[in-house]
Structure 1
Amino acid sequence: MSMGTELLGFLLCVGGWLLTAVSLANNYWRVTSFAGSVITSTRQYQNLWQACAEASTGIRNCRRFESLLALEGYVQTSRALMIIALLLGLASILLSVLGLKCTKMGSMTEQAKGKLTFTAGLLFILSGVCVLTAVTWYAARIVQEFNDPFYIGTKFELGAGLYLGWAAAALVILGGGMLCGSFRRASTPRNKRSSVIRILKLEHFKNMVITSRFTL
């Protein structure tokens, strides 16, 4: 495998995984929109865990979402996908550490390490897809409510937490693709060499047969 490609992909994936955790903990998944409003002294914002209101004086009051079953479906799904993404990312990091070419684990062969790295890359990509699905679905719901003229609730805009999630998904998917790609590029030359060796052996065998016929 290409060690440089592996390390770069691994670092991108770890950075994306950390950014996923930051996005999940960020308070600003949705923030109050002041479009068409004359009251700007209070700002409201929410994430997957709580809703907060902050006055212009700096006083902030937050209320945690107490019941999971009382939440809307897209919030429940976004929570689950973000947590699954973090768990998949953690498992992928462990597999990557075991499979990187620069690490030594007993008598593990290069082929076995390559398969571990390839599996870790696939899991990283799946983790990135989970994050991308969660933040995109959440953002789509905000945009839908904002553009609905019959929506009577508080209208919100996209918050920083969503942008962090999109950045995290991009890093993880890119890094996972690099890990998978490094394994394919490393395996292709070996396959070509083995094919050439088989062809040479076959040609040598044919020459031996022809020579034996002339001798007889």
Structure 2
Amino acid sequence: MDPIVEVVALLLGFLGWVMVGIALPNRYWKTSTVDGNVITTSTIYENLWMSCATDSTGVHNCREFPSLLALNGYIQASRALMIASIVFGTFGLVAALVGMQCSKAGGENYVLKGRIAGTGGVLFILQGLCTMISVSWYAFNITQDFFDPFYPGTKFEIGEGLYIGWCSAVLAIAGGSCLTCSFHYNMKIARGTAYSHAPSRSVAASTYGRNAYV
């Protein structure tokens, strides 16, 4: 596997993993501004864990969602997907570090190290997919309520936390794809090289004949 591709893929996966950690606790997954006079103008914003409100004077209050079972299904699913994304990314980073050629971990067995790195690439892809599904599903519900003329509640808009999540998903998928594709490409080259150096049966037979009867 090309060491440069490994390093680039590791950096992309690491950045994606860090951005997941930033997006998950970010409070601005969806925002709504209620216009009024100087005192009554307020901003409401929510994420997967709490709902907050702040007024024009800078005073803000937050309350955590009181019950997990009382939440909408997409919020529960988004929580699970984001946590799974962090877990996949953590194991992906460990596998990528162990599988890199410049790493001393795993010994000198480069075939095994390549397979470990390829596994890390798959884990990065899973991380990106979990993040992408979570933030896209959350954004879909925001836009669905926003454009529904009969929706009675507060209409929110997409917040910065979702954009961070989308960027994280793209980076993780790109890094995982680089690791996985590079691993498969190098395995094909290795197999082709092994077959090209293997002696044919006719050559082996002729050599045996010369050794036996000459």
Scaled by the length of structure 2, the TM-score of the pair is: 0.91
| Counterparts of residues 30-49 of structure 1 (less than 5 Å) | 30-32=30-32, 41-49=41-49
What secondary structure is seen at the aligned counterpart in 2 of 1:188?
helix
Aligned to 2:98: 98
Superposed displacement of residue 195, structure 1:
2.2
Moved more, 93-102 or 80-89: 93-102
Distance in structure 2 (CA, Å) of the matches to 1:83 and 1:142? 21
**Relative contact order (C-alpha < 8 Å, sep 6+): which is higher?**
1
What is the aligned residue count? 208
**C-alpha contact 2:9 2:175 (8 A) present in aligned 1:** yes
- Structure 1 window deviating more from structure 2 (24-33 vs 138-147): it is 24-33
**Structure 1 unaligned blocks of 5 or more:** none
CA contact (8 A) 2:99 2:106 kept: no
Which 4+ residue blocks in structure 1 deviate beyond 4 angstroms?
Answer: 37-40
User: What is the 5 A alignment of 1:8-27?
Assistant: 8-27=8-27
Q: Which position in structure 1 is the counterpart of 2:138?
A: 138
Distance 1:160 1:57, change over 3 A: same
Cα distance, 1:38 vs structure 2: 5.9
Q: Which residue of 2 aligns with 1:127?
A: 127
In 1, distance between residues paired with 2:5 and 2:202? 37
CA contact (8 A) 1:33 1:157 kept: no
Q: Percent identity?
A: 40
The 5-angstrom pairing of residues 196-211 of structure 1 reads 196-198=196-198, 200-205=199-204, 208=206
Q: Secondary structure at the match of 1:70?
A: coil
Quick one: distance in 2 between partners of 1:197 and 1:32? 67
Q: Deviations over 1:53-88 (max 9, x none)?
A: 110111001111121111100000000000010011
Q: 1:188 Cα shift?
A: 1.8
Q: Structure 1 residues 106, 61: closer, same or farther in 2, change over 3 A? A: closer
How many angstroms apart in 2 are the aligned matches of 1:108 and 1:49? 46
Q: Which runs of 5+ in 2 are unaligned?
A: none
CA contact (8 A) 1:45 1:51 kept: yes
Q: 1:33 to 1:148 in 2, by over 3 A?
A: farther
Cα distance between partner residues in 1 of 2:80 and 2:106: 37
CA–CA separation in structure 2 for the residues paired with 1:80 and 1:168: 17
RMSD over aligned Cα atoms? 2.0
